[in-house]
């Protein structure tokens, strides 16, 4: 059996990319059994463990990100996210030594799109990594305690993949079509999340597994997913198991796998989803660091540059101050600002 967990970061902002991340966990190959007792095995990763001198737990990404540690000698705002993800990276046995090497393999579907956006492109250019961001993965000895304390019997995290949906791609998805209708961002989130799962299911490592559990953090009050599942998996048999205010569950039978998909409110209370949330949040924050660095270097505003996190009120403040800068760079608003 295998498990794929999916979560996002940047669903609400007006500026910067929407990031959707998925982590892959592999368990006993022949098993088809899943229950609450198995799920609860991951709770060991909610116990704080010392990683590189800081107490880290796998939790909601906002909590981990906001547990700022500069007062204890950590100069990077992404320090705790990087600590948790360094643990995941070593657990996967990945060969890359730093973030810049890892990005092309983590966002392969969006690599060329990100390269085409001036304020994001430096993320992928050798020698252009920002000094204030963590880059090198922590050494294995730094995460040794976590490796021991967070071991889940018979299960191992083996991969992480993500989609980085730029504002330009976001707007292209949501624009009016020939029939005069348009998609909304809930459609984008659902289709992109399921598409990410579909791409991970093609991994050769999953050929030996017949059964999989797929977990999503549910957003926006949406309860019914059978239609979008059928659209992304057109040859699959989709059966509704349950659709409640808290959780929607579906059995999905493809040519190669029998899947159970769970869309759960506050899904990131389940550790594998929280680990995906940490990946998504870190990627989003890295992207926003490059965004701010790009515009600060070219700033023509009347006041000194103030970084933006991209959320609506602060985005409006940034855009009002950035008029001269945006005009000088001939930046199309549809490339920069999400339409919804």
* β-strands 2-9, 211-217 pairing: parallel
Specify the pLDDT at position 75.
58
Q: Which residue has the tokens 């737990």?
A: 57
Distance of CA 32 to the CA centre of its chain: 27
Q: Which two tokens stand for residue 40?
A: 């609860």
Alpha-helical (H) ranges within 150-247 are: 167-174, 185-201, 226-232
CA dist., res. 306 & res. 313, Å (int)? 14
339 in Cβ contact with 321 (< 8 Å): no
**Contacts from 296-304 at CB under 8 Å and sequence distance 24+?**
298/325, 298/328, 298/329, 299/325, 300/324, 300/325, 300/328, 301/325
Distance of CA 141 to the CA centre of its chain: 26
Specify the pLDDT at position 70.
46
Specify the pLDDT at position 219.
77
- 330: alpha, beta or left? (left if phi > 0; alpha if psi -120 to 50): left
Specify the pLDDT at position 95.
95
pLDDT along the chain (340 residues), means of 10: 97 97 94 92 96 89 63 68 96 95 96 97 96 95 96 96 98 79 88 97 90 91 92 98 95 97 95 97 97 98 94 97 95 93
Domain boundaries of the chain, sorted by first residue: 2-289
**In terms of Cα–Cα distance, which of 222, 273, 289 is closest to 76?**
289
Q: 158: helix, coil or strand?
A: strand
The answer for residues whose C-beta is within 8 angstroms of residue 35's C-beta and 6 or more apart is none
Q: What's this model's pTM, rounded to 2 decimal places?
A: 0.95
Specify the pLDDT at position 176.
66
Angle (deg, nearest 10), helices 271-297 and 79-92: 120
CA dist., res. 2 & res. 221, Å (int)? 28
* β-strands 54-56, 237-243 pairing: unpaired
CA end-to-end span of the chain, whole Å? 38
CA dist., res. 117 & res. 124, Å (int)? 11
Choosing among 2.40.40.20, 3.30.420.10, 3.40.50.300, 3.50.50.60, the CATH entry for 2-289 is: 3.30.420.10
Distance of CA 79 to the CA centre of its chain: 17
């Amino acid at each position: 059996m295998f498990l794929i967990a999916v979560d996002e970061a940047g669903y609400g902002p007006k500026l910067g990319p929407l990031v959707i991340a998925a982590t892959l966990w592999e368990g006993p190959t022949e098993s088809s059994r899943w229950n609450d007792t198995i799920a609860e095995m991951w709770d060991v990763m909610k116990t704080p463990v010392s990683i590189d001198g800081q107490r880290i737990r796998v939790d909601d990404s906002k909590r981990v990100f906001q547990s700022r540690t500069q007062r204890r000698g950590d100069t990077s705002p992404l320090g705790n996210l990087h600590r948790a993800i360094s643990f995941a990276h070593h657990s996967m046995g990945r060969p890359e030594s730093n973030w810049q090497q890892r990005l092309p393999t983590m966002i392969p579907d969006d690599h060329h799109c990100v390269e085409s956006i001036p304020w994001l492109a430096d993320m992928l250019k050798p020698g252009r990594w920002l000094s204030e961001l963590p880059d090198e993965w922590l050494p294995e000895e730094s995460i040794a305690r976590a490796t021991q304390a967070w071991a889940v019997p018979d299960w191992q995290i083996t991969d992480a993949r993500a989609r980085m949906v730029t504002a330009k791609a976001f707007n292209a998805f949501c624009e009016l079509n020939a029939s005069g209708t348009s998609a909304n961002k809930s459609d984008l989130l659902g289709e992109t999340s399921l598409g990410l799962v579909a791409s991970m299911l093609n991994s050769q490592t999953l050929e030996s597994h017949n059964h999989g559990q797929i977990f999503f953090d549910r957003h926006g009050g949406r309860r019914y997913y059978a239609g979008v599942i059928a659209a992304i998996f057109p040859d699959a048999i989709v059966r509704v198991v349950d659709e409640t205010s808290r959780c929607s569950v579906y059995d999905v039978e493809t040519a190669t796998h029998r899947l159970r998909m769970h869309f759960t409110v506050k899904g990131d209370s389940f550790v594998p989803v929280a680990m995906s949330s940490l990946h998504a949040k870190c990627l989003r924050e890295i992207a926003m660091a490059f965004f701010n660095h790009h515009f600060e270097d070219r700033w023509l505003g009347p006041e000194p540059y103030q970084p933006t996190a991209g959320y609506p009120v602060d985005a409006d403040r940034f855009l009002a101050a950035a008029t001269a800068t945006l005009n000088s760079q001939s930046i199309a608003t549809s490339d920069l600002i999400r339409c919804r």
